[in-house]
Amino acid sequence: MGSPITNWDGATAYFTGFGSSTPGIILLIAIAAVVGAIFVGHLHESHAYSKVK
Amino acid sequence: MEQQLAELTTKIAELEAQAGWGTTVAVEAFYWWCTGLMVIIHAGFLAYEMGASRKKNVLASGIKNILAFAFLVPTFYFIGWWIYLAFPGGLIPDLEAGAGGLPWSESMGPNLADNASGIFWAAFTLFAATTASIFSGAVIERIRLSSFIILAIVLGSVAWILAAAWAWHGDGWLLTKFGWHDFGAAGCVHMVAGFFALGVLINLGPRIGKFNADGTPNDLSPHNLPMATMGLMMIIVGFFGFLGGCIIYNGGDQWTTIFGNPATLSAVAFNTLMCFAGGIIMAWVLTRDPFWMMSGALAGIFGAAPGLDMYYPPLAFLLGMGGAASAVFAARFLERTLKIDDAVGAVGVHGFAGLFGVLAFGIFASGYPNVGDYPATSFMGQLIGAIAMFATGFLPGYLISLLLKGMGILRIPREAELLGMDKAKVPVSAYPEDPHHAAPGAVPA
């Protein structure tokens, strides 16, 4: 995590964690968050609709 | 003398570098503002979809529309851009070409050596969100939100962008093998989204009360037609960003289309306004309904979208009329004959008007040269492309919604549909002073 550069001269990709495994881990967490949010939405709907029935 | 020459050379190099940066930043800024304008499309879709809903579902429709946008952004980042870069040749990915679109690529984040990837990704993400919003309106008032989100992701982050790799890419196989041309994305955006919606609607079924026992349709009118109509006008405003994003800004050289042929924004300006007007007028003649007049404006643009860079403006006007007519007649056919309940006419406006536009280009603009050794434009090229766009939209929409239906999670329960989705699951009320909507989440006795 943190800065992958120590100097702006000649810097190219400089996003947090670039060049390490950190972006991969964050990417997986982000994917899991999207899937999880859909699942939470599904549970909420099931609960809400079961009350209506 | 030598010193003066050296100073002059240095000065020229500095000026060239400044001009180069000026061009780079101008290109970046152009697409930035196109993307910003395209957000207005979604403001429009939000107003239009909520207005088109009945009072009891207005907030649920808004939530669905907002979430379509929200879920499309990360999923398009995860997979969409890679699909676009990797699949122009067909169904087998070019892993080398696609590498720059992988979410761990150095191009997919802040990079001082890359002023292009982020801004083009953003523009295409907005196109993706547009496809999801098109689909969203068709299925209001009875689809389950979580299933809708899954379908929207399939449409916006997979189906449309696969179609765009084929039909809206300088190396797409429809261009390189058949000379396909579709400046304004009538095929990969509008046909794909419209026919995806049709595939889902077949499995989803109509809203309760839409059809009588004898099959005659009832009018489930929008609860706020002025808001829906204003929303449609906002979509038109946003389309100027959309169409700006369809042209390639080459810095110090003439604009080109995504297919490589030279073009001008002036051409697009002439034709966009002409087909927009034609669409409104035809829809007025056919319906006298302001909702359909503004839908006709959209359908008019799609009816001429493939050739906005080439048409003679009065032809664009007539094609706008044709696009609107195709949308109105298709919507009537779907409702009256096939008993399909498309709440906002999205299949007609986007699917059929897009189809009309793609084929009309083959009739009125065949024979234009393409760059390199690619075939010239032709009716057959447009027909083959139209079939590909239809299949890329309809098949995933139909098959995945069939799967969700089989799992029992495509549609909300009958009781919730009768009560209204807002009362069933939304914690706030759209119209708290209305006695029928005063208690959010409450279930009436």
Digit-coded pLDDT (tens) for B86-108: 999 999 999 999 999 999 999 99
Instruction: Sort B406 into a burial class: Cβ within 10 Å, 0-12 / 13-18 / 19+.
Output: exposed
- Minimal C-alpha gap between A38 and chain B (Å): 6
pLDDT in tens, chain B (445 residues): 788 898 999 999 888 888 888 888 899 999 999 999 999 999 999 999 999 999 999 999 999 999 999 999 999 999 999 999 999 999 999 999 999 999 999 999 999 999 999 999 999 999 999 999 999 999 999 999 999 999 999 999 999 999 999 999 999 999 999 999 999 999 999 999 999 999 999 999 999 999 999 999 999 989 999 999 999 999 999 999 999 999 999 888 899 999 999 999 999 999 999 999 999 999 999 999 999 999 999 999 999 999 999 999 999 999 999 999 999 999 999 999 999 999 999 999 999 999 999 999 999 999 999 998 999 999 999 999 999 999 999 999 999 999 999 999 999 999 999 999 999 999 999 998 876 665 555 443 3
From the CB of residue B11, how many other CB atoms can be counted at a distance below 10 Å? 10
Write down the residue that tokens 């399939």 correspond to. B154
In Å, how far are B147, B229, B327, B328 from B205, measured between CA atoms?
15, 26, 21, 21
Report the largest interatomic distance among the alpha carbons of chain B, rounded to a whole angstrom.
98
CA distance B390 to B198: 10
CA distance B10 to B16: 10
Q: Is the ipTM of this complex over 0.90?
A: yes
CB contacts of A49 in chain B (<8 Å) are: 412-413, 415-416, 424-425
Q: Which helix (H) or strand (E) holds B152?
A: helix B145-154
Chain centroid to Cα B153, Å, comes to 14
The answer to whether the Cβ–Cβ distance between B413 and A44 falls below 8 Å is no
Instruction: Give the DSSP letter of residue B287.
Output: H
- Minimal C-alpha gap between B442 and chain A (Å): 9
The answer to whether the Cβ–Cβ distance between B145 and A41 falls below 8 Å is yes
CB contacts of A37 in chain B (<8 Å) are: 71
pTM of the model: 0.94
Q: Which two tokens stand for residue B12?
A: 């020229």
- In this complex, the residue of B112, B149, B412 whose CB is nearest that of residue A49 is B412
- Minimal C-alpha gap between A14 and chain B (Å): 6
Chain centroid to Cα B356, Å, comes to 16
Q: Which helix (H) or strand (E) holds B248?
A: strand B247-248
